[in-house]
Structure 1
Amino acid sequence: MRLPLRELKWLRKAAADANRPLDALVRRRQQGEPLQYIIGTQPFGPLELSVRPPILIPRPETEHWVIELAARIPESARHLLDLGTGSGCIPLLLAHLCPALSAHAVDVNPAAVTLATENAARCSVTRFRAFQANFLDPDFHVHAMLCPPYDVLTSNPPYIPWNEYLELPDEVKNYEDPRALFGGPSGLEFYHAIARLAVRERFLSSDAIIALEVGHDQAEAVGAIFESVSLRTEAWTDPWGKKRTIIAYRGT
C-alpha cells in the first residue's frame, strides 16, 4: 500500500513531534489502521482533540452541523446533554463556542468517558462533566449524575443498520467500537430511545433544541419518530448535500 503524500507528511510530523520511528507509523497505516489513531489527534472546529482506539473518530459532517448548531443556540441556554459522547467532540465544541453552556456527556464505554474528560482538560473546557451510563436503559432519566431540565440535547448515536455494518471499510469495522456504530437491525433503535427521553416530564426545558446526526438515508424516518411524539422537526444538509442532521423542538 503506497501512502498518499499528504498522509506521509502528517506521519512524518507525528514521528518528529513524539520522537517515534517513522517506519513503524507507516507500517501501521499500511496495515489499515486509521490515520487519526496513529497520529493521536483530530481537529474539530478550532479544537484539537485526542483520539485513540476504539473510540469513534470525529467526522467532518459532525463538525459541520455542530458549528451550525452553535450559531442557533439561544443565549439563554445554560445546560446541555450529549448522549453517546465518544471523544466528547460535540459537547466540547459547543461549550467552547457557547461559553454560557455547562455540558454533561454520557457514554456506555468507560474508555470514552475517560477520553472525553481528558479532551475537556486539553481544550480548557471547565464546565463539562462526563459519566458512564446507557441511555437505552428505561431508568436512565433518573441517573444520579443528571441535572435536568436540559436546554440542548445532542447525539451522534449508533445508526448503522446491520446490512450496512457488514459492508463498512475494514479500517472502520476493524478498529472503531461497534457499539458506537451499530444502531440495531434498522439503525433506528437509539433514536426511539432519545425520543422517549425528549418527552419525559421536566427532562428538557420548554424551549429546548434537540440535534441528532443521522445516516445518509435516515432523515425522513428519524424525523417521523420525533414527530410521532409531537415535536417539530427540520432536516439540515451536510456540505455534500445529504440530509444528515435532524433538529427537533419542544417549543412552538
Structure 2
Amino acid sequence: MTWSNRFRLLGGILAVLVLVAGLTLLFNHRQARVASFEATVNAPTAQVGSGYGGVLTEQFVRAGDTVAVGDPLFTVISPDVNRERQQGVEPQSTAAYQVDTTTGAITYLAVIDGQVTQVSGVLGSYLTPGVSLATISATDPKSVLARFDLEAVDYGRVERGAPVTINLANNAQVQGSVADVTVTTQDGRAITQVRVESEGLTDPRHEALTRSGSPVQAVMSLRDDGILAGPTDALLQFLVKVGLR
C-alpha cells in the first residue's frame, strides 16, 4: 500500500469518527428535549360587567375587534343614576365607565389593551346589575401553558429558565423559557404543567396564531446530566457561531 493510499484511508477513518461523534452528540441533545402533548396560548382577560341595571342602547365593538385602554365599548341608559342622585349620592365615573348624570347614560370602557373575544350584551335588552357584557383578552403579556407526560427522573431535570421552542400552527417558531412548573394528576398519572414566557408571542406577524386559546406545541429542553453534556454544549455553541443553528 502506497503512502498516498494510507493517507486516504486514515483520512476516511477520521471523517467517519468525526461524523459518528457529531451524530452521537446530536442524538444526546435530542434526548434532552421533550414535546408537550397539549399546549395553548394564555393571556389575561378582563370581564366587562354592568355596574348599573338599564337598557343597552349602544354597542361600539364586536367580537374580534382590537381595543385600547379607554376605548368605549357599550352605553347603557340606567334609571339607577337618577335614583342615586335623588338619594343624595352623586354617581362617579371610573376607569371602567363614564357616567352622564344628565341623561343617565353609562358608557363602559376598555380597561386593558387587547382583543374582544366575546360579546354577551344584546342591543335593546335590559341588563341587571353585574351581568357580563363582554370579555377582553389582553394583548400583552402572553404565555403558553404546556402539559408534558414525564417520568419522575425527567421531571427532576426541568429547570426554570430552560429554553423552550414554541411551534405555531403555521410551523413558525418562537423561542421562550420556562417560567413556572406545577404538577397535576390526570387519570392517576402525574402531568407536568409548564408556563412558558416568550416575547415572540406578541410579535404582530403572529397575532392571528397567538390569540388566547390558540393551540401550539412546546418543545422543552431538560437539564443534561449525562457524561456527554459538556461536549454537546460545546458543539451547539460552535454551530451557533458558524450560523448552522
For the criterion TM > 0.5, the same-fold answer is no
| Higher alpha-carbon Rg | 2
> What is the TM-score when the length of structure 2 is the normalising length?
0.21
TM-score of the superposition, structure 1-length normalised?
Answer: 0.21
As a proportion of its length, which structure holds more strand? 2
